[in-house]
Structure 1
């Protein structure tokens, strides 16, 4: 009996020991990188590129694997490590970086029928003469949840899905990538679009606190304070920040009484009106007299094309979705959110709010299809791997909006990374910020950015480190050929000026 017991214990010990040994299936993957040679022609000069795409294993602060982090890296062939490097990403949250990648930054771009619908495949893919690759190496990042990026080991999706979680993981990637490439002593830049600018405002301080100071940060279609985008009850800020873009949209679609000499001169008048007449009227609330309300409704109508009666019914407060639907209701059309130059069929003429975004409908298919064709066939990515364009379809996806930089409030509508950027600039007076704004962007409105910048409490000499550029296009201004040319010029000049020793 004793021998049988000993035998049983030995077998049990052997089984337990064996089960604890790492098996092939339980090994944490290292990531896979696929290489290719690409080239781009800019200003008549061909630049040869060493390219890699795929994933690398991301480690936490204790060097434990937490993710396979997806990226595409373009490096000028034969170049030294002193060349500037740009880390770029889109927004969402969470969106993969193919928009910027195949729209303006990479060596190739897809041709869009701006500002109309692009016909189905075959799409036209061309050399991108507006790429930044003549000025800098480029790393396109796909945060965990999109692209090929995913958690590994003990990590979970929720470890990456949130304002601070996102900043931490991208900060880890940039730190480890700089070490990998020997680029710690090179000029360094962040470039983000949409939520990517909200991310950038916090990320630049996060990296700076860890000893990684950026030469510059490029903000494409920026937002730093969510309050400016959300029409909260009793909060008039979003109505004010959106109004100049309503007016710009009406100007573009010939819905205003007096267009003036140019869009810029028209918008100067709109800014003045917003600050000196519209804002005080909203501030009075229900104390505004009936006659003053009627007078204000007429002025709002003159600048936006919406009828005075509509403004009265809306209590002088029109949300963006209501505006999309109302501006061209009589023509049976609705205008775009991401770019209000785009028009689409109004699916319900009785609806108060727009059902869809014509700009998104018009460009999503060509961008996604053309990029994936390039990714799998030109960049040699593994065709057994799924490239996820957005995390919104992932089961259980939910973003954690809490931010440690907001010490005095917790409400989602008040989340802001502007204090982070303000602190980073005050602690690093050499930091330069380039902000690119689309006049017809109703997703992240230009006047909201101006409001934020004007409330940072910066001294004039530090305020001069923020450079604002404007485009007669929308959120993705790079769908518009003249704006592509201007984008290239503005970003080139910024990198040239900020990368000098």
Structure 2
């Protein structure tokens, strides 16, 4: 059977010794037809560091992978940034983790350069992507697991090919097909088909990870990590129910409620209990709710989320995210962030709430005296560069990147098709029930109103994730749950522990040998989901 062009090219360059591979930098011609597969560029360097208290050497390899559409035509180049521990005798027993972020037009740079990679970029002000540099990251779990960061097409240094039709690629299912192609290619080219494997996604990347598992039952994983889960809560009631505990945590952080000696963990838990009992019951009753009970619920909400009871009643007990963000600090002339409710900015007319989120930092603060107006659309913002990450890849890892490194590309977001009726998390839960050895790690931040913590837990419960296969971890942090030295250590230690106990001795077939096999719908068989693992 003839091997796809992208696999032939990738295998050829990755089979080179590391000292030689760094010179394999053939670049795709700008005039090359979209139907021709360019030779992927690659660089490899030898490095050393201390991770998890262990001194070790590792090889860092940055490589392009040609992504094909369902007809086998090349449409783009995705970049992988891999860190592989040297001196490992039995690669078949060494776990490997594939990681990506969300957006869906985001590069892997948050997980890569803020959490898991061997180097970390010190935290800068929101929107500051150009200043500063990088420093060793002793919290990186590279001592326990090899790491492969994936920049999807349109992000990082990854680009579409000239003339390629990316409509299918920029969709829920098409994007997951591309991600699976990259994973299969890396496993095959590096001889790691038998290694224990893990899949980690953050934000929209959790949707991508769930869809990869759902649509590729033959590409068996030992564990999936969902960080800041991009869960949808349908209906008239649940969007408000699942957001309330995060609003409560934000009110606690800003001192807008009486803490009464409670920690944020305790206040969040109190809000969850109220949300899933009295609050949801009141919302379901709607106009039938007696006025006295409506007032009681509004006053209880006020004590939790820091807004006046009269305003809560005026909103019919249904607080939108903007209702809370634009009112909780209104007396101070401030609004909160969405990705991080502890961050503030001036409250101004015409704010959108999301695209002008001060924690995101892509819309400049309005100049004094400037007229109010709507913020720019995602398409108008387009790609946002991350020069520090680009310099790290070119200067430290010696990758010959061409053009800017896109930390996030809002043009991709604007072009995205979110497929209706497709719930990848249901497929992930089904895969877990079919395979009791498949474990799930879920991490959420109390201060994340973009993907609220309780929304993730509600979704996991509703789709039927087996509790015995789930490890849950809450952090007093934002969308990037690992922000802050304490959170980073807790997060990476939890990742190490999860990898260590997630079926590392599962008998394995070489599932990725038939790389030319077309994408198939998943087929699962019912099996017992009994698993005695502890739930954190």
Interval of TM-score (by shorter of Structure 1 and Structure 2):
0.7 to 0.9
Answering whether residue 464 of structure 2 is matched by residue 451 of structure 1, we say no
- Residue 479 of structure 2: aligned partner: 475
Cα separation, 1, equivalents of 2:455 and 2:202 = 15
Deviation digits for residues 26-71 of structure 1 (CA, Å, limit 9, x no counterpart): 4531221122233332244332221121412234667654432211
Cα separation, 2, equivalents of 1:119 and 1:202 = 32
Answering whether residue 437 of structure 2 is matched by residue 419 of structure 1, we say no
Answering whether residue 337 of structure 2 is matched by residue 360 of structure 1, we say no
What is the Cα deviation at residue 322 of structure 1? 2.2
- Residue 103 of structure 1: aligned partner: 114
What is the Cα deviation at residue 296 of structure 1? 1.8
Cα separation, 1, equivalents of 2:255 and 2:57 = 46
What is the Cα deviation at residue 427 of structure 1? 1.2
In terms of mean alpha carbon deviation, does 282-291 or 240-249 score higher? Answer: 282-291
Match of 1:156 among 162, 165, 172: 165
What is the Cα deviation at residue 25 of structure 1? 4.1
Match of 1:75 among 84, 90, 93: 84
Cα separation, 1, equivalents of 2:482 and 2:333 = 28
- Residue 486 of structure 1: aligned partner: 490
**Unaligned runs of at least 5 residues, structure 2:** 1-29, 365-382, 506-536
**Unaligned runs of at least 5 residues, structure 1:** 1-22, 229-233, 407-414
> Partner of 2:417: helix, strand, or coil?
coil
Q: Over alpha carbons, which structure has the higher Rg?
A: 1
- Residue 229 of structure 2: aligned partner: 222
- Residue 128 of structure 1: aligned partner: 137
Deviation digits for residues 178-222 of structure 1 (CA, Å, limit 9, x no counterpart): 111111100000010001111111211223x2x221010011111
Answering whether residue 243 of structure 2 is matched by residue 242 of structure 1, we say yes
Across the aligned residues of Structure 1 and Structure 2, the Cα RMSD in angstroms comes to 2.9
Q: Is the 8 A contact 1:322 1:354 kept in 2?
A: no
Q: Is the 8 A contact 1:118 1:366 kept in 2?
A: no
> Partner of 1:47: helix, strand, or coil?
strand
Match of 1:391 among 401, 409, 430: 409
Distance 1:118 1:392, change over 3 A: closer
- Residue 87 of structure 1: aligned partner: 98
What is the Cα deviation at residue 223 of structure 1? 2.5
Cα separation, 1, equivalents of 2:212 and 2:66 = 21
Q: Is the 8 A contact 2:387 2:405 kept in 1?
A: no
Q: Is the 8 A contact 1:334 1:354 kept in 2?
A: no
Cα separation, 2, equivalents of 1:323 and 1:397 = 26
> Partner of 2:56: helix, strand, or coil?
strand
Deviation digits for residues 340-373 of structure 1 (CA, Å, limit 9, x no counterpart): 122223234x969577322222999999232122
Deviation digits for residues 137-180 of structure 1 (CA, Å, limit 9, x no counterpart): 11110112212323448741112100010111111111121111
Cα separation, 2, equivalents of 1:238 and 1:48 = 47
Cα separation, 2, equivalents of 1:301 and 1:442 = 18
Cα separation, 1, equivalents of 2:215 and 2:405 = 28
**Where do residues 16-415 of structure 1 align in structure 2 (5 Å cutoff)?**
25-26=32-33, 27-59=36-68, 64-79=73-88, 80-82=90-92, 83-112=94-123, 122-152=131-161, 155-207=164-216, 209=217, 211-224=218-231, 226-227=232-233, 235-348=236-349, 356-361=356-361, 368-393=386-411, 397-402=414-419, 406=421, 415=422
Q: Is the 8 A contact 1:39 1:107 kept in 2?
A: no
Answering whether residue 441 of structure 2 is matched by residue 438 of structure 1, we say no
Q: Is the 8 A contact 2:387 2:404 kept in 1?
A: no
Cα separation, 2, equivalents of 1:366 and 1:65 = 25
Answering whether residue 502 of structure 2 is matched by residue 498 of structure 1, we say yes
Cα separation, 1, equivalents of 2:439 and 2:63 = 31
Q: Is the 8 A contact 1:120 1:366 kept in 2?
A: no
What is the Cα deviation at residue 121 of structure 1? 6.1
Cα separation, 1, equivalents of 2:391 and 2:176 = 30
Cα separation, 2, equivalents of 1:45 and 1:135 = 10
Aligned residues: 455
Deviation digits for residues 96-122 of structure 1 (CA, Å, limit 9, x no counterpart): 111111001111101116xx6697864
Cα separation, 2, equivalents of 1:418 and 1:384 = 36
What is the Cα deviation at residue 492 of structure 1? 0.5
Q: Is the 8 A contact 2:338 2:354 kept in 1?
A: no
Cα separation, 1, equivalents of 2:414 and 2:338 = 23
